[in-house]
Structure 1
């Protein structure tokens, strides 16, 4: 049976990989394993060792704590916007916009959010 923390860490790996546009193959090659192992990590079927998580975090440019964000207490998960496909799509699209236009869009969103 998959432990809730293992499933959460796997989801965070998948979301970060997806947000960076990295394939399972690319991530696997960067940490020296087969892509099937990445698949197993992402589904929570296999636990990620501390050293492997360290390598994955480095390959994806985040700290290890990133993979545990959203966990609270004894396995209860807090709602995390990265679990929402629409939010992930929005973030990916946002970062594909040229920086000057992105700043203007951010300013507009800030004004609309305050209204």
Structure 2
């Protein structure tokens, strides 16, 4: 298989976003697979980023999950800017983004519903500041 056919970091990001949305909807891999005409194993491979999702399939998935296609690319620039050395080269063993707990998924879902751009940026700045280590005196 040529390198261009191997899943990439963006494939893993899209898979993670797929998993987040499925869990947000409280669906199993089996339930999503049924809606898409796929086996749960294929859904699992998509979520792990082991198998690439074609453009047509991504469009179908976004429709079933009721999110825009761009949802799957949110955070891509920041994620792809992380040093490559943080990831295993073997796509089966590649580390996905950290698994999200329910509270984090709820925070993301609520944040995405905020329509006021200024408020969103302000909240993001506040969260980043709160998450930063304290500066020594």
TM-score (norm 2): 0.57
Please state which structure has a larger fraction of its residues in helix. 1
State the shift of 1:50 in Å: 0.7
The answer as to 2:71 corresponding to 1:58 is: no
Q: Distance in 2 between matches of 1:63 and 1:91?
A: 15
Q: Residues 20 and 100 of structure 2 are in contact (CA less than 8 Å); yes or no, is this contact kept in structure 1? A: no
Structure 1 residue aligned with 2:21? 16
CA RMSD of superposed structures (Å): 2.9
TM-score (norm 1): 0.67
Residue-pair matches, total: 91
**Which runs of 5 or more residues in structure 2 are unaligned?**
1-5, 83-97, 111-125, 127-137
The answer as to 2:104 corresponding to 1:87 is: yes
**Which runs of 5 or more residues in structure 1 are unaligned?**
95-112
1:5-48 deviation line (CA, Å, top 9, x unaligned)? 00000000000000011111111111111110000000000000
Q: Which residue of the other structure, out of 3, 6, 10, is the alignment partner of 1:5?
A: 10
